[in-house]
Structure 1
Amino acid sequence: MINLQPYESPGYFGLIIGLLLPIIIGLFYGKRLVIYETIFSLTFLVLTFGGKDWHQGLALIGYVLFELIVIFAYSKYRLKRNRTSVFIIAVLLAIAPLIVVKMTPLFTIKSSLIGFLGISYLTFKSVQMVMEMRDGAIKEFEPILFVRFLLFFPTISSGPIDRFRRFKTDYVNAPERDKYVTMIGKAVKYLFLGFLYKFILGYFFGKVLLPVLAHESLAQRAAFFHTGLSWPLIEYMYTYSMYLFFDFAGYSLFAIAISYLMGIESPLNFNQPFKSHNVKDFWNRWHMSLSFWFRDYVFMRLTFFLMKHKIFKNRIHVSQVAYLANFLIMGFWHGVTWYYILYGAFHAVAIIINDIWLRFKKKHQVPSNRWTKGLAIFITFNVVCFSFLIFSGFLNTLWFK
């Protein structure tokens, strides 16, 4: 059996569009073909996690069963009591498989037996369920719908990260014909834009330019250690930033396009991030489903906890600690390596400095015009690109290998 990596080959798109036709026709006439959609989704899950990756398929099945048990048990308990300790245990259990997968490389060169493609994004969905049950936003646990939400295959491997209540609204109610025709139009647009981003621009920056600049940077390693700077490294920084954006944004556009064709309006992931006026604005535009997830389920909840227990008297210090924790956790989520953790810490410090500057700007009425806005965009772009150089791990290669 062959394996198909999501959105990586023309054959994948040909197969998926062909098998999507009955779903598209059904939705056009206001019918959601639940049985066919289930078979369709299972087919692509098998093609993705079967064959030589059969162990990932088994890990995925085990993961889904585990999360079902955890969330079902908490939903039953939640109906009777609402103890914080049990809520914390439920969250820790929901996130435990991901922690094991992320920590395994520290102890062995082999990957974790319970790891599989997309475990991070499924964990975000699972933790979200527990937290929204705790809040009372989700009144009843619906196991079958939860599994459909968890295994919604267009977004299973790399997002975007949807919210259960929003997904449920789309899934239960097929879109009106006029709305669905509009969704089809957007899907076609996103598919073509995704091809431009991932297979043309992403390929050019990532496969053509990046290896050359990496080789030149390593060749001038001595000059770098002497001056702390080299032009190939600077070029590498900007090129990697472009590659990271176009490759990931293209992938996200494919996932959103297929979601739209299935009648599900998965959230957008990017909104012209390199036009950001500051770092906070950047995180409102870059990988938005992830940054908003961390904002809602880490930053805001930690901020509320710190204020409720009056751990810090100054609200500014509360937000600063919450930012630091939020981005450090995000760094650890990417991987337990120094450059991912430094990447998270770098953005935490950047956003804290940005908040200090915004308060200073407001207090002293610093002028704002097109020139200052242009300068803000330029500075933000370079700060972000430098953070991506850290994120790339290339400095680890340059310094230690």
Structure 2
Amino acid sequence: MISFIPYASFQFFTLIAFLLAPIIILGLMGMRNTLYNDCVAILMTFLIFAAQPEQLISILLFIIWQAVLIKGYLAIRTKNNNSACFYIAIVLAIIPLFLVKLSADVPALNFIGFLGISYVSFKSIQMIMDIRDGLLKEIPLIQYFRFIVFFPTISSGPIDRYRRFREDTSKIPTSVEYRTLLYQGLNKIFLGFLYKYIIGYLIHKYWMGSPMLLPDTLSSIWLYMYGYSMYLFFDFAGYSNFAIGVSYLMGVRTPENFNKPFISRNIKDFWNRWHMTLSFWFRDYIYMRFVYTAVKKKWLKNRYLISDIGLTLNFLVMGFWHGFMLQYIIYGIYHATAFILFDKFERFNKKHPFWPKDNKWMHALSVVITFHVICFSFLIFSGRLDFLWQR
């Protein structure tokens, strides 16, 4: 059976071009056939996972499991805002993802999981949290299914928010609005080809694949660090552009994932530009919730210490989310440390100004320093330094 991994083959692009043609024609007329859109989503979800039946079964069971949890918790929350029920619902929602991450060390669990389970899990977890906060009063099953199996972003994001997605799917763009979406969507798709299949490919083959980078010498590792950082950006940003572009063609304004991250002037600025939907998800649902709870319950008096603990928790969870491997955990700790140190530096500079923000030379130096701090973190993430702690 032909594999239809999202944006990985000419067959995939040919198929979606054929399936999206009626959507585009109707969109240009200021119309939408919701039933057809739903059928396309179901068909594409089936084709994406049909080549591996165990994955198809896994995603079907996952969707049912999360639907039961969300609808069940919504019914409980309507009657009683019980904290214990909320935490139980969150744990039960996370269990499938936890088992998939654990399968790297426990081969017996390899049958669990499917392509994109991390990103789909984020969608269901955020819905439970929004129910807890009283932001969601009702969730029609059909709208839940549309959100969960929105095929353009199902494998690797960007991570949308249910309420924002619901607004887009509930409102039909006018013909003028859709023409703009179509133009922007096609531009995103072509930019995706440039990033992923031209620049990313060339970097991977001729830079990272160079025999000069094979030995574990300081110079080869240093050059590999730059190459891997560039490849990681162009490959993932290319994929994100594909997903956003196809979403636009379907009339859904999926949020951006990257905003020129390598011109960031500090670590905080970087996480406002890199993998933004993931970064903002962790910020809103882990860091901010921890800080709010810690302050409300008066766990600690020092608000800076609360923030530091929240940042550490935030990036540790992000590290574990990538996998239960040492390189990912160190990557998370590294970013937490960098963020905390910059926060302290910023506070000190506010009291004792010595690093002017409006100086163009200082700004340029900040960008260069931040670029290298980030590239080194990607070197850790890549696993190229594993030999240091495996000896």
TM-score w.r.t. structure 1 length? 0.94
Q: Matches of 2:67 and 2:234 in 1, distance apart?
A: 35
1:399 Cα deviation from its structure 2 partner: 6.1
Partner secondary structure for residue 7 of structure 1: coil
Q: Which residue of 1 aligns with 2:365?
A: 375
Q: Which residue of 2 aligns with 1:311?
A: 299
Q: Which residue of 1 aligns with 2:115?
A: 117
1:398 Cα deviation from its structure 2 partner: 6.9
Query: Contact between 2:160 and 2:254, CA under 8 Å: does it hold in 1?
Result: yes
Q: Which residue of 2 aligns with 1:251?
A: 239
Match of 1:276, as an amino acid? S
Q: Which residue of 2 aligns with 1:290?
A: 278
Query: Contact between 1:193 and 1:253, CA under 8 Å: does it hold in 2?
Result: yes
Q: Matches of 2:59 and 2:205 in 1, distance apart?
A: 31
Structure 1 residue 30 and structure 2 residue 26: aligned?
A: no
Structure 1 residue 167 and structure 2 residue 165: aligned?
A: yes
Q: Matches of 2:326 and 2:235 in 1, distance apart?
A: 24
1:103 Cα deviation from its structure 2 partner: 1.4
Q: Which residue of 2 aligns with 1:191?
A: 189
Query: Contact between 1:154 and 1:256, CA under 8 Å: does it hold in 2?
Result: yes
Q: Matches of 1:75 and 1:245 in 2, distance apart?
A: 38
Match of 2:289, as an amino acid? R
Query: For residues 188-234 of structure 1, what are the alpha-carbon distances to aligned partners after superposition, in whole Å with 9 as ceiling and x for unaligned?
Result: 1111111110001110112332122xx43443x3xx4xxxxx11110
Query: Contact between 1:122 and 1:150, CA under 8 Å: does it hold in 2?
Result: yes
Partner secondary structure for residue 114 of structure 2: coil
Partner secondary structure for residue 155 of structure 2: coil
Query: For residues 118-142 of structure 1, what are the alpha-carbon distances to aligned partners after superposition, in whole Å with 9 as ceiling and x for unaligned?
Result: 0001110000000001111111121
Q: Which residue of 2 aligns with 1:83?
A: 82
Q: Which residue of 1 aligns with 2:224?
A: 236
RMSD over equivalenced CA pairs, Å: 1.3
Q: Matches of 2:270 and 2:314 in 1, distance apart?
A: 15
Partner secondary structure for residue 141 of structure 1: coil
Structure 1 residue 216 and structure 2 residue 215: aligned?
A: no
Q: Which residue of 2 aligns with 1:107?
A: 106
Structure 1 residue 328 and structure 2 residue 311: aligned?
A: no
Q: Which residue of 2 aligns with 1:47?
A: 47
Q: Which residue of 1 aligns with 2:137?
A: 139
1:361 Cα deviation from its structure 2 partner: 1.2
Query: Contact between 2:267 and 2:338, CA under 8 Å: does it hold in 1?
Result: yes
Q: Matches of 1:165 and 1:332 in 2, distance apart?
A: 27
Q: Which residue of 2 aligns with 1:345?
A: 333
Structure 1 residue 14 and structure 2 residue 14: aligned?
A: yes
Distance 1:107 1:11, change over 3 A: closer
Query: Contact between 2:102 and 2:109, CA under 8 Å: does it hold in 1?
Result: no
Query: Contact between 1:32 and 1:174, CA under 8 Å: does it hold in 2?
Result: yes
Match of 1:20, as an amino acid? L
1:18 Cα deviation from its structure 2 partner: 1.8
Query: Contact between 1:218 and 1:398, CA under 8 Å: does it hold in 2?
Result: no
TM-score w.r.t. structure 2 length? 0.97
Match of 2:198, as an amino acid? I
Q: Matches of 2:205 and 2:147 in 1, distance apart?
A: 34
1:11 Cα deviation from its structure 2 partner: 2.5
Task: Give percent identity, aligned residues only.
Answer: 48
Q: Which residue of 1 aligns with 2:66?
A: 67
Match of 2:231, as an amino acid? Y
1:114 Cα deviation from its structure 2 partner: 2.1
